Structure 1
Amino acid sequence: MVTNAPVIDIDREAFWHDPYPTLAHLRASAPVAYVPQLNATLLTRRGDIWTCEKNTAVFSSEQPEGLMTRLMGQNMMRKDGAAHQAERAAIFPSTSPRTVRDIWLAQFQAAATSILDALAPQGRADLVSDYALPLAAEALKAITGLTNMSAAEMDRVSQGMIDGCANYAGDPQVEAHCHACTASIDRHIDARIAEIDARPDASLLSVQRRAGLEDAQVRANIKLAISGGQNEPRDAIAGTIWALLTHPEALNAIQTGHATWRDGFEEYARWISPIGMSPRRIAQPFTLHGTTLEPGDMAFLMFGAANRDPACFADPERFDLTQNRSKSIPFGAGPHFCAGAWAARALIAEVALPMAFARLPRLRLDPDHAAVFGGWAFRGPLSIHVQWDAP
C-alpha cells in the first residue's frame, strides 16, 4: 500500500452528488492522494494523467481482481500491449470512422426519426428516459449485433454493469444484480450467433467472430461496449441539451452558424466528464509529486478533475463553447483511447442534438422540474424534464 501519500477523507454521498469541489481541492493541494473511502490513490492533474495513462508498464490496465474483470470478464480495456492491440484491431471494422459514416449513421438517423415522431405530439418529456435512453439503446443494438434486445433491457443491463463496476463499497445486492445483467447479455448473444454467422454484418458480434476471437473474449468485449456505449451517450445527449438550454448564448452560437453541434457536445464532455475516472493497477514502484506508489496499489485517473484543470483551461468551471479544448481528455488518452469515440460523436453531434432542436419547436426546460445529476466514476443526468410547442 501507499505509505507516504496524503490521506484525504471524502463524504461519499456528497461526492456522488457533486464531485467537483472535492476534485478541485485535491488537484490544488494533494494531486496524488489516498482516499480511504475509495481504497485508491487519486491522480487529479491533467498533465499527470496524460503522461501516466500512457505509461502502461507502471499504470497497468490488467486487473485480475478488479471489479470489471470479475464481473464482466477480461475485456480489451483490461489488457495492455500486444493483447490489447490485437483485440482492438479485431473490433476496428465495426467502429471505424468509415463504418460509422457508411453504415451506422443512417441507422442512427432512422432511430431518432422514429423516436421523435412519437414524442413530437406530446409537448413534454423527460429527455433522459424518453429520448436519450431509447436512442442510445437503438444505436447500441445495431453496433453490438444484439438486435433481439429491447431498448429498456439494453439500458437496464448497462446500468447494472456500471453500478457493479463502481461498487467500491462491496454491496452484495449490487453485485448480484450485475451478475443477472451479464447473464441476460449472454442469453441474447446465444440467441443471435447462428443468424449472425449465417449473415455476417458490421456488428461487434459478427466482426469478432470472423476475426477468430475466443468466445470469452467476444462476450467480454460486447459487455464492455454495452457498459460504456449505453449510459455515456444517453447521459451526453440529455446533458448537452440541458447545457445548451441553460446557456442560451451557446445555443444561439450554434443555431446562427458561429459554432457547431460538435462544439456543444465536446464542451459538455469536457465540463461534465461523463467518464469521470479510469482505474489502474500499479505494476512497479513509481514516484509522483513525492508520493511513491507500490505494486498492487490501485490508482484512479480522475478525468473529471483533469478536464477542469485551470492549468489547461482558461475558465474550466464554465460551459463555454469558445474555450480552447485542445487539452480535454473526455475519451481518455494513449492506447486506451475510447474505441467508440467516432460512433459517439456521430450519434450525438450529427443526429441527436440537431434533430431534437429541429423537431421539437421552442424546446425549453420544464420550470416545475429541476434537472438532477449524479455520479463521479460515471456522471450524468438522472432526469431532465422539457417542454416544446406540440403541433
Structure 2
Amino acid sequence: MIRAQVPVADWVDAAELATDPYPSYQRLRSEAPIAWVPALGRYLVTGYAECHAIECDQKTYTADVGGSGATMKRALGGHPMLRKDDPEHACERSAINPTLRPKAIESVWTEVFTRNATAYLDVLAEQGPDTAELNRDYASPVASQNLIDLLGLPDVDVDSMRRWSHAFIAGAGNLMDDPAIWRRCEDARTEVDALLDELIPFYERNPNESMTSALIHAGLPHEAVAANVKLTITGGMNEPQHMITNMVWALSGHPDQRARVLTDPALWPMVFDETARWLSPIGMYPRQTTREVELGGVTLPAEAAIGVVVGAANRDSGHFDGDPELFDISRPRQPHLAFGSGVHLCAGLWAAKTSVGRIAVPLLYRRFPGLRVDSSRETRWFGWVFRGLTDLPVTWDD
C-alpha cells in the first residue's frame, strides 16, 4: 500500500498570518488542505471536511495535546476542560452547562447583559462621533463586564479582566515561544489565582448562580476550578468582544445588508451567524494524533501536532454554497466551525448569541442608526490563532 506523503508548505509566514491570514488560507486549501508547516512546527488542516472529521473523532485526535503544542496549558498554569477528552472533559463541562443553557441565559443573564450594554452605550456617546473607538469604548468593556458577572468575580474591574484575557490569549497563541508573552501570563495567573484563593472558600459557603460557584459545587478540586475559570477568562471576553466589532465592521462594509437588518430586526441572528463564519474569532486550535492515521488522502504519524484551522475551513467552497469569501446574511444556513463541533462545542455559545447577537449589537444600532466605520482613522486587525480588530474607529450622524 502506497501512503501519500504530507505536502510541506515552507512558504507559510507566521507574520503574514497575523496580519491577514486569508490569502494563505486560500492557497493552503487549494494546494494542500493538510500541510506540514515548518515555521509553526505543526500540520495545518484547512479543509472543512478534514477539520470536521477531526472534531468527530476524539479517540484519534486528542485535545490533550502535549509537548510544544501545549501552549494553553502553559498559559493558564493548569489543565482546563478544553484540553481534555471525555470522560474527564464531560465531567467538568457538565458543571457549567446549567449556568449557560438557554433557559438560564434568558431568566438570569439577559437583564444583566442589557444593563451592561446600556451603560457603555452612554460611554460611547460621551466620546462622540469624532473620537469614538468601538473596541475601547464599547465592545471590550461590555464583554469584560458580562464575563465578570457570569464568573461572579466581585471587585474586578473591566481593565483587569481585559488585561488578564489578553495575556492568556497571547499565551495560548504563543507558538513562537516569546518569553515576554510568558511573563505577562505569569503575572495574570498570579493575580487570578490569588483572587480564587479567597473566592473558592467564600462560594463553598455562599453558592450563587455564577460559573465559579457552579464549578466549586460540582465537587471539582481547587486546581480544576482555577484552570477552568482562567479558560473562561481567555475565551469568554475576547471572542464576544471581537464578535461585536466584527459585526459592525462587516455591516459597515455592506450597507445594503445593514439597511436590511435595521429595517427587519429578525435578521440579527443571521448577521451574528454569518459574521462568526466569515470572520471566525477563534481561528485555530490544536489537536494531536494518538496513532498513525489517514486523513484527507495523506498519512499523519502518531503524536502529530495539528492545527485545526477553522478560520480557513469556514471559507471552504467545497462545503459552503455561493462564494464563502463573501459576507452574505442571505446565505443558506449550513453548519460552520466557528464555535467548534462535537463534544467541544463552545459552552458559551448561547451566552454569546444572546449578549452579542440579541443585545449588544442591536442596542448599538438602535442608539446610533447611522453607525459606521470612520474611514478617516486607521482600523487595525491582528492575529490568526485568535483574530480580531484591535482598533475600530466609528462615527455616526449627530
Q: TM-score, normalised by structure 1?
A: 0.96
* d(CA) in 2 for partners of 1:214, 1:366: 49
- For residues 214-255 of structure 1, the C-alpha deviation after alignment (integer angstroms, 9 at most, x for no partner) is 110101111111100111110110111111111111111111
Report deviation, 1:190.
2.4
Q: Who is 2:123 aligned against? A: 118
Letter of the aligned partner of 1:380 in structure 2? Answer: G
* d(CA) in 1 for partners of 2:38, 2:385: 16
Q: Who is 1:306 aligned against? A: 313
Query: Is 1:133 aligned to residue 137 of structure 2?
Result: no
Query: Is 1:53 aligned to residue 58 of structure 2?
Result: no
* d(CA) in 1 for partners of 2:182, 2:333: 37
Q: Who is 2:341 aligned against? A: 333
Q: Are the aligned partners of 1:134 and 1:151 in contact in 2 as well (CA < 8 Å)?
A: yes
2:366 to 358, 361, 366: 358
Report deviation, 1:195.
3.6
Report deviation, 1:172.
1.1
| Structure 1 unaligned residues grouped into runs of 5+ | none
Query: Is 1:83 aligned to residue 88 of structure 2?
Result: yes
Task: For residue 43 of structure 2, give the secondary structure of its aligned residue in structure 1.
Answer: strand
Q: Are the aligned partners of 1:63 and 1:69 in contact in 2 as well (CA < 8 Å)?
A: no
Query: Is 1:42 aligned to residue 47 of structure 2?
Result: no
Report deviation, 1:3.
9.6
% identical aligned pairs: 37
Instruction: List, as ranges, runs of 4+ consecutive aligned residues in structure 1 with deviation greater than 3 Å.
Output: none
Task: For residue 230 of structure 1, give the secondary structure of its aligned residue in structure 2.
Answer: helix
- For residues 84-108 of structure 1, the C-alpha deviation after alignment (integer angstroms, 9 at most, x for no partner) is 1111111112211111111111100
Q: Who is 1:93 aligned against? A: 98
Letter of the aligned partner of 1:221 in structure 2? Answer: N
* d(CA) in 2 for partners of 1:148, 1:258: 36
Query: Is 1:156 aligned to residue 156 of structure 2?
Result: no
* d(CA) in 2 for partners of 1:189, 1:316: 43
Q: Are the aligned partners of 1:279 and 1:301 in contact in 2 as well (CA < 8 Å)?
A: yes
Task: For residue 281 of structure 1, give the secondary structure of its aligned residue in structure 2.
Answer: strand
Report deviation, 1:64.
3.9
| Structure 2 unaligned residues grouped into runs of 5+ | none
Query: Is 1:181 aligned to residue 182 of structure 2?
Result: no
Report deviation, 1:327.
2.4
Which sits farther off after the overlay, 3-12 or 378-387? 3-12
Query: Is 1:7 aligned to residue 8 of structure 2?
Result: yes
1:345 to 349, 353, 356: 353
* d(CA) in 2 for partners of 1:297, 1:116: 47
Report deviation, 1:118.
2.8
Aligned alpha-carbon RMSD (Å): 1.6
Q: How many residues were matched structurally?
A: 389
2:29 to 27, 30, 34: 27
Task: For residue 87 of structure 2, give the secondary structure of its aligned residue in structure 1.
Answer: helix
Residues 149-298 of structure 1 mapped to structure 2, 5 A cutoff: 149-257=156-264, 260-298=267-305
Report deviation, 1:361.
4.4
* d(CA) in 1 for partners of 2:222, 2:276: 34
